[in-house]
Amino acid sequence: MLYVPVITPFGADGAVAWPALEALAHDLLTGGATGLVALGTTAEPASLTPGERRDVLDLLAAVCREHQAPLIVGANDPDQLRVLADRPAVRAALSLVPPFLRPGEEGVIAHLQDLAARSPVPLIVYHVPYRTAQPLTAAALHRLAATPAITGIKFAPGVIDPEVVAFLADPPADFTVLAGDDVLLSPLLALGAHGGILASAHLATSSYAALITAWQAGDLAVARPLGHRLAALSAALFAEPNPTVIKAVLHAEGRIPTPDVRLPLLPASTRTLERALGVREFATT
């Protein structure tokens, strides 16, 4: 399964480019994505107004309903979770391990279990320790997986270390592990991940979907070389802060009206864009 955390395109006037967002969402679902993620970090949600966040959610929910595709929504507190009730397209909330505070494993578990108890939809934990500064052991991840209302994890460990191997070597039953490190997608799939939530899949969506299918089918002749090529593409797309390079490439391809991002992000450099376009051509041939 492949979920794409959708960017928020902006027009020349700085406003959200709604037609481009709708067209992009349709393209991703027809291109091979299982579903979409609304208001993930790739969408720059902190820079959006409350009204913009509401309208992004409504638009992506409508597109997912049309395609009968699931929608995951970034939501990190009870107020953000509350608005997800009575929205049939929304299948889960993507909730980040608390960043910066470093509350320890017990604090993380208590916080996410409390959120899950309050949420109208199941939770997918977003674990990205190199951004949150809060590592979790395999034992802690298994405790979260045992919580009935927590049904999956966006797993972005940053490295393949013994805790990662231990967690994936003993996968929790009825629990979905979605790779969140785009560059590490192929090795995480090889270790047992079920799919991914991948910003890189704005580009070459069908290729990322094919890579997931190949690993699940045990087709190593396809999975290994394709995984190497797509890892190079993901590395190029994350050479500057996400989603700046992805937006630059989408704009260069005529899919969004500008490459603009909102502060504190700055647009990707021309050099990084040119490299990404070259790697994209190599990765998809």
Buried b or exposed e, range 27-56, using 16+ CB within 10 angstroms: ebbebbbbbbbbbbbbbbbeebeeebbeeb
- Other C-beta atoms lying within 10 Å of the C-beta of residue 101: 12
Give the active site residue among 126, 130, 208, 247.
126
Give the residue among 143, 55, 77 at the shortest CA–CA distance from 105: 143
Task: Name the active-site residue from 3, 130, 154, 208.
Answer: 154
d(CA 181, CA 200): 10
The angle at the Cα of 7, spanning 6 to 13, to the nearest 5 degrees, equals 140
Length of the chain: 285
Token pair listed for 62? 């409508």
Active site residue 126: yes
The verdict on whether 247 is a catalytic residue reads no
Active site residues: 126, 154
